Amino acid sequence: MPEYHEALSWFHTTLRDKVTRRVVWVRNGNAWEVRAVPVDGNWRNSYATGVVLYAQSTNRQWLVWAADLPVIPQRGDRIIENVRGVNVIHEVLSGDGEPDWSWADYEHKFLVVRTRMIGS
């Protein structure tokens, strides 16, 4: 089993160092810089008729590096990401009948946080 744990460790390190982006987590006037991977709410669906439908949602999930976050996510927390010089604000809020957050892996290294974009 050591190969599995080595591979998992490599995956976590690579994901953290190469894929995550720095965002600001805000709660009650406190702010922390955390590493997170945005999971876009963009869809593309092709139909047999040749029609291609593109849709974009204001919902977004984030994979958040748990070691960076000194608090457990709660509804109303905000994630601020800088997109080409514009701060885009996402609020922790599932709204889809799912929990606002859950663990992404059994080792509890990543959280899946569900948000909605509320402004920029």
Q: Report residue 8: phi and psi, to 5°.
A: -65, -40
Residue 80: the pLDDT is 95
Residue 81: the pLDDT is 92
The whole model's pTM is what?
0.76
Q: Is the pLDDT of residue 21 over 90?
A: no
Q: Between 18 and 114, name the one with better pLDDT.
A: 114
Residue 31: the pLDDT is 96
Cα Rg for the chain, rounded, in angstroms? 16
- How much of the chain, in percent, has pLDDT values that exceed 70? 87
> How many angstroms separate the Cα of 34 from the Cα of each of 4, 20, 47, 63, 67?
27, 9, 39, 11, 9
Residue 57: the pLDDT is 62
Mean pLDDT along residues 76-105: 89
Q: Where do the structural domains in the chain lie, given as residue ranges?
A: 20-119
Mean pLDDT along residues 85-90: 92
Residue 56: the pLDDT is 60
Q: Between 16 and 27, name the one with better pLDDT.
A: 27
